[in-house]
Structure 1
Amino acid sequence: MPTSTIERTAQKRVRRTRSRAVSHLPALAVSTLQPHEYDLDPACISLVCPSCRTWVPINKPETPRPKLVPHHTEPAGTEDPVRCPGSHRLVVIDVKVERWRRRLEEGVAETDGRRSNRVTRKPKVAVAPAVMHILSPLLDAKAALRMYEAHRKGCAVCAPSGRTRCADGGKLAHLVAHKQRTEPARRAALTVMEKLDERHEQGLWLLRELQWASTADRVRRADIQRAHDALEATLRQYNQDLDPVERADLMSAITVLANKVDRLSR
């Protein structure tokens, strides 16, 4: 009677560190680290090794003596790697998972409060107009024609016959045609503006004349009173004892003031 052969397949075993070695460094308490330097998520519990500043898993965190797994200080694939002295270092997990998550949420909320949600957009830079467009309002038909002729003399593309033009030559030719077409209207507008300015100046002059006429009488009386008061004060000084020179000067001043009073009183 034939016997059946049972094929046995070895199952894949979970890899785990079997070393009983312990680092000479003192046990590392998780509470001494910053909240962002350790991760207590059961799916990937790990921390930043203080010796090499590398994220390292914690072996058997549910046991009384969890340790850091052995790791190297160089990147993976380096020949003759050097093992970090923090390998097999005992870890004291003295922080609750809920407390760790709460501290992370508070830190994220504080950071979000410091960051501005306002988007500062870069201002759009306006394109500078061409020189011809800037000078166009300032040119008349003759000036535009002179500019076009100067361009034709110095341009190798624009032919003397005017049949072939470059981009700038075409724009200048269009500008000359536009200025010649609008020159009569521009001159008429300038004439109207000159007449309006002349009338405006005449109106201002009439306004000044009317304002002066309304106050001329008061100003005239004030001038007569000032000249009369000055004449009286000078006449009082004439009666004092003076030498001939001072008396002659005083007499000249009295004559000038008397003529002024007479002129203003007319």
Structure 2
Amino acid sequence: MSAAIATERTAKERVRRTRSRRRNELAPLRISQLATHEYDLDPACISLVCPSCRTWVPINRPNGQPGRTQLVPHHTEKAGTANPVTCTGGSHRRVIIDVEVEKWRQRVVEGVAETDGRRSNWVTRKPKVAVAPAVMQILSPLLDVNAALKMYEAHTKGCATCAPSGRDRCVDGGRLAHLVAHKRRTESAHRAALTIKEEQAEQREQGAWLLRDLQWASTAGAVRRADLQRVHDELEAMLKPLSPKTAKSPRLNDWERADVMSAITMLATKVEQLSR
């Protein structure tokens, strides 16, 4: 009887079950399995990127017991959104911090140094826009003294500001007067420079012709011999069928014979010209 009473008073082992709704049945997240840029082990705010909603979430009780280190409950939308939705896949999910803080900090420093090394320090500066030349600067190389003087006189006749005496001038009249004076000062030097340039161009052309003549003279003999040999070969090829020694020599009529004799005469004239 005592044994039966002792058996009834012994508590039976009951099946453990989750009694709290704040529990996530997904497998715990291991920090070592995440990328370095997806978690932050700074003691000020230890956090990581939630795998479900891809948002940064703080870790609750990072230095507590392994089973109580969890992700803080969070929403999937931005802060201030109306009717936010709680992330069911990442809220209250257990986290296992199996990475040392010093190793993580060293890895981050090395990554930043490598990224800085890939960035170029070359500064691409904007090209400077050249100042457009004035109309007088464009026309100055194209005009001589007479053309500049004609432009100045035409402007003076049609301008109310420019006086015939030359004391009062507008902006364009002053520029034209300056252009006329400049052309008068530099006309002689400009003509002398043009003359020298023309003489140099003529000398270069004469030198090119002389060089061409010398090159032709060095090869003229070989060319003449080749032409003579070619004419001789044509004469032999033309006279060979007409030789009486050939048994099967073709019989030509008067017209064909006249054509052959004309061709032979032309070849003979050509040989005579090349032999001079």
**Which of the five TM-score ranges fits, normalised by the shorter chain?**
0.5 to 0.7
Deviation at 1:182, TM superposition (A): 0.5
- Residue of structure 1 equivalent to 2:10: none
- Residues 154-176 of structure 1: CA deviation (Å, up to 9, x unaligned): 8x79646563323x654444333
Cα distance change of structure 1 residues 106 and 245 upon mapping to structure 2, 3 Å threshold: same
Q: In 2 relative to 1, CA 109–250 (structure 1 residues): closer, same or farther, beyond 3 Å?
A: same
Displacement of 1:183:
0.8
Q: Residues 162 and 173 of structure 2 are in contact (CA less than 8 Å); yes or no, is this contact kept in structure 1?
A: no
- In structure 2, give the amino acid aligned to 1:243: N
Give the Å deviation of 1:178.
1.6
Give the TM-score taking structure 1 as reference length.
0.64
Displacement of 1:134? 4.5
1:258 aligns with 2:261: no
Judge conservation of contact 1:140–1:179 (CA < 8 Å) in 2: yes
In the alignment, is the contact (CA less than 8 A) between 2:57 and 2:71 conserved in 1? yes
Residue 25 of structure 1: CA displacement?
3.1
Give the match for residue 37 of structure 2. 36
Deviations 1:203-260 (Å, cap 9, x if unpaired)? 4444444555555566555555544554454444444432222112222223333344
Partner of 2:127: 124
Cα drift, residue 181 of structure 1: 1.4
Post-superposition offset of 1:118: 3.2
* Change over 3 Å in CA distance of 1:66–1:181 after alignment to 2: same
How far apart, in 1, do the equivalents of 2:185 and 2:113 lie? 70
| CA positional deviation for 1:127 | 0.6
Is residue 140 of structure 2 the alignment partner of residue 136 of structure 1?
A: yes
Q: 1:118 to 1:257 in 2, by over 3 A?
A: same
The superposition leaves residues 29-74 of structure 1 with CA deviations (integer Å, 9 ceiling, x where unpaired) of: 3526543343323333334455665544444333322455566666
Q: Residue in 2 aligned with 1:182?
A: 186
Matches for 1:193-208 after TM superposition, within 5 Å: 193-208=197-212
Cα deviation 1:161-204 (Å, max 9, x = unaligned): 563323x6544443332222101111122222223333443444
Alpha-carbon distance change, 187 to 83 in structure 1, aligned in 2, over 3 angstroms? closer
- The residue number in structure 2 matching 1:23 is 22
Q: Percent of aligned positions with the same letter in both sequences?
A: 54
How far, CA to CA, are the matches of 1:137 and 1:201 in structure 2? 26
What CA distance in whole angstroms lies between the structure 2 residues aligned with 1:209 and 1:68? 97
Where does 1:86-235 land on structure 2 (aligned, <5 Å)?
89=92, 91-98=94-101, 99-112=103-116, 115-130=118-133, 132=135, 133-145=137-149, 159=162, 161=164, 163-166=168-171, 170-212=174-216, 223-224=227-228, 226-235=230-239
Q: Match for 2:24: what amino acid?
A: L
Paired residue type of 1:26: E
User: Contact 1:37–1:47 at 8 Å: present in 2 too?
Assistant: yes
Q: Which amino acid aligns with 2:127?
A: K
In the alignment, structure 2 segments of 5+ residues that lack a partner are 1-19, 244-248
- Give ranges in structure 1 of 5+ residues lacking alignment: 1-20
1:176 partner SS: helix
Task: State the AA in 2 paired with 1:130.
Answer: P
Q: Tell me if structure 2 keeps the 8 A contact 1:22–1:88.
A: no
